[in-house]
Amino acid sequence: MTNQKDFKNMYDLAEKIALEDFEKLDEQHEFSDTYKYKKKLFLEKIKAKNGQQLAKRKKNRILIAAACLLIGIPTTALGAVKVYDMMVQKQNYEVNVSVTNSAKNNDKWYKLKLNYLPENMVPIDSSGMKYSFKDNFANGGFSFILWRLGKNSEFQTLYSSKYEEKEINGRKAVIVNKETGNPNVVFNRKVYLLFEKEGIMLESFIANDVSEEQMMNVLENLSIEPTSEEFASYFADYDESYFEEVSKPVESKVIPLKKDSKQLFKVGQKVPVTFNQVDSDGKSKNIKLEYMIEKVEIFDSIQDINQENFNELGLNILKQSKVLDDKKNLLSYKRNEYEVGNGKDSIDELVKSKKVNVKFVYLTTTVKNIGKQATEEIYMHPSLQELKSDQKGWNYAGKVGIAEESIMTGEVDYLEPHGTGKSFYNIGLIQPGETREVKLGYFVDEDKLDSIFLDAFNYSGSGENEDLNSKNHWWIDIRQK
């Protein structure tokens, strides 16, 4: 069985895909904590609003079921001989699939098996729960989650335009089409498929690069087969109490960076960085580094930059946005701003479009180990942030309730030296007294060059509150006029 932490991770993954807030899986790319934090605020806002109507929806369903029994009208959701009753409701843009379980919990293990795959589609990892086309690897395709049903299980889809109830190979299914208001949505369909005998709900996320015919062929030919725990697909145990807990309103607060903060530095200034690392023996050691940005350069082309050092994520976004030509020149693109809907009563609405040029910000930096011990492997992923000035200092840019499309990821788009695969950010060990030159690069909208800051060596993560002046931040002002 999965523990509470595993369940939370799976739930967060489902939310991330369902809301199109993050189009690549964490297994493929590691993202900075600050970047995740800003996205987390939006997810928590959605969850909080969902929780306010959760009790009301349950009460309404109970009254409806009771009325049907008293009147004697048979329904698709109720039946004396059925083990699992499934009810589907749609209100505005919200679709809820509710499953009531009158059987004992099934603690057996199963493996998801896909007996058909479209041509050129392959799994992206060993889990067998995510598939994509080779020419669109790790972006689109199918994603699956297996839920072990509880006594009462509810599955919610926001930003829904319509749904269809049907049977697929004798199994109850609900196909939900999504409408976010944003034409660039990737996962535009969700399918719930009930394995009644096994007590399992399969939740499937289908991207827009999959045709309806391909989708149905995959769903009609998949199965779950009994196996041992060792070889089972990943399961999430539905925990109603957990969903109620995460639906409680959460207030998040960001304390702005003071303009005279001790954690704010300039280009050419030595930045003292300290943090703890754990060695191979499990012992903690204090690392002391001296970090400095020596030079900031702005380029209109990446033709003369070593292509082997670019992060695949950044290049893919450039290609999708069509801002990189065959000669590696950076072009302009149309940047859209949306007023964010809540996914229940409203969807996103386009409020502004602007044509912007893309620039490549190239940083020459040095990292010196000024401590007495060699470091463990250093993961270099300074996050590029856009900060705006207000009366209290510098704060994250962006307006509440507004989502802006951008080629800017906040992540490292270029790194020299770097590791391979998931360890792209790994620049290796640094011996005492050794100075390592590190080249960093970021793709930036031209009109944001005057508001960019580097959040270097922030390994602390983020909670419900974040103080930009904390000792876990080292901000470097790299604004360009």
Using one digit for the tens of pLDDT, what is the confidence trace for 394-416? 999 988 889 888 888 878 999 99
Q: In whole angstroms, give the CA distance from residue 189 to residue 35.
A: 26
Model pLDDT, residue 464: 59
Question: Which of 30-44, 225-239, 280-294, 359-373 is least confident?
Answer: 30-44
Sign of CA dihedral 272, 273, 274, 279: negative
Q: Which of 335, 240, 302 is nearest to 443 (CA)?
A: 302
Model pLDDT, residue 137: 73
Model pLDDT, residue 125: 84
User: Half-sphere exposure (CA, 13 Å, Cβ side) for 21?
Assistant: 24
Q: What is the DSSP letter of 324?
A: B
Q: Cβ–Cβ contacts within 10 Å for residue 425, how many?
A: 19
Any idea which architecture 253-477 has in CATH? Sandwich (2.60)
Contact 320, 209 (CB under 8 A): no
Using one digit for the tens of pLDDT, what is the confidence trace for 240-274? 655 555 555 566 788 999 999 999 999 999 999 99
Q: In whole angstroms, give the CA distance from residue 143 to residue 22.
A: 13
Model pLDDT, residue 421: 81
Q: Which helix (H) or strand (E) is 132 found in, with range?
A: strand 130-133
- Tell me which of 131 and 12 has the higher pLDDT: 131
Model pLDDT, residue 240: 64
Query: At residue 343, does pLDDT exceed 90?
Result: yes
Amino acid at 188: N
Model pLDDT, residue 33: 40
Q: Exposed, middle or buried, 216 (CB in 10 Å: 0-12/13-18/19+)?
A: middle
Q: Where are the domains of the chain?
A: 4-246, 253-477
Reply yes or no: is the peptide bond before residue 118 cis, omega within 30 of 0. no
* 190 φ, ψ (degrees, to nearest 5): -135, 140
Q: In whole angstroms, give the CA distance from residue 293 to residue 367.
A: 9
User: What percent of the chain clears pLDDT 70, i.e. is strictly above it?
Assistant: 79
Residue 273 tokens read as 């960085």
User: What is this structure's pTM?
Assistant: 0.73
Find all residues with CB under 8 Å of 136, minimum gap 6, and list them.
209
Query: At residue 339, does pLDDT exceed 90?
Result: yes
* Per-residue H/E/C for 259-280: CCCCCEEECCCCEEEEEEEECC
Model pLDDT, residue 186: 87
Residue 84 tokens read as 């699992």
Q: How far is CA 42 from CA 20, 21, 110, 397, 401, in A?
A: 12, 9, 34, 15, 9
